[in-house]
Amino acid sequence: RPGLALCAGCGGRIQDPFLLRVSPDLEWHVACLKCAECGQPLDETCTCFLRDGKAYCKRDYSRLFGIKCAQCRAAFSSSDLVMRARDQVYHLECFRCAACGRQLLPGDQFCLRERDLL
pLDDT tens sequence across 76-91: 877 888 999 988 999 9
On whether residue 76 sits in a domain, the answer given is no
Cα angle value 21/67/20 (rounded, 5°): 5
**DSSP of 55-99, one letter per residue?**
EEEHHHHHHHHS-B-TTT-PBPPTT--EEEETTEEEEGGG-B-TT
CB 69 within 8 A of CB 91: yes
Q: Is the same domain home to 62 and 86?
A: no
pLDDT beyond 90 at 101: yes
> How many structural domains are present in the chain?
2
Task: Tell me the pLDDT tens digit for each residue of 29-59.
Answer: 888 888 999 999 887 777 788 888 888 998 8
Q: Is the same domain home to 49 and 20?
A: yes
On whether residue 77 sits in a domain, the answer given is no
CB 58 within 8 A of CB 73: no
On whether residue 73 sits in a domain, the answer given is no
Q: Is the same domain home to 53 and 99?
A: no
On whether residue 9 sits in a domain, the answer given is yes
What is the sign of the dihedral through the CA atoms of 61, 63, 65 and 66?
positive
Alpha-carbon Rg for the chain in angstroms: 21
Identify the domain containing residue 33 by its residue range.
1-66
Q: Is the same domain home to 86 and 62?
A: no
The pTM assigned to this predicted structure is 0.62
pLDDT in the model for residue 10: 87
Q: Is the same domain home to 51 and 87?
A: no
Instruction: Classify residue 102 as left (phi > 0), alpha (psi -120 to 50) or beta.
Output: beta
pLDDT in the model for residue 3: 55
